[in-house]
Amino acid sequence: MIECAKNMHWEGFLAVLDDRMVWTTHRYALGDPTDGGKARVPTLKEKQADGSVCNAVMNADKARVLKKVFFLRPVEAEAVADEDEYAPPKFR
């Protein structure tokens, strides 16, 4: 159905073609094919500890950078000291 709708739209566009639109149509017809709107993560820049910048181009590198940014490492919980005094609970 999508391909049929695309063809109908293109044929309708060509049917109302005028002198002004001929070069635009030429550019559409000869243009590079697109990826169909597929989502793509662009190249990511990661700042290293020494201050340099590393580009993450491959998917595995991008995944590592995104994991590092969005999923922080857990912080070690501090042990509760036994000598601290706490007020008695107000409720059961």
Residue 80: pLDDT band with limits 50, 70, 90:
low
Asked whether residue 85 is domain-assigned, the answer is no
Q: Which domain holds residue 64?
A: 41-72
* pTM listed for this prediction: 0.43
| Average pLDDT rounded to a whole number, residues 11-22 | 86
Please report whether residue 60 resides in a domain. yes
Cα distances (angstroms) measured from residue 66 to each of 47, 51, 58, 72, 73: 13, 19, 12, 10, 13
Work out the pLDDT band at 52, boundaries 50, 70, 90: very high
Residues 26, 5 within the same domain: yes
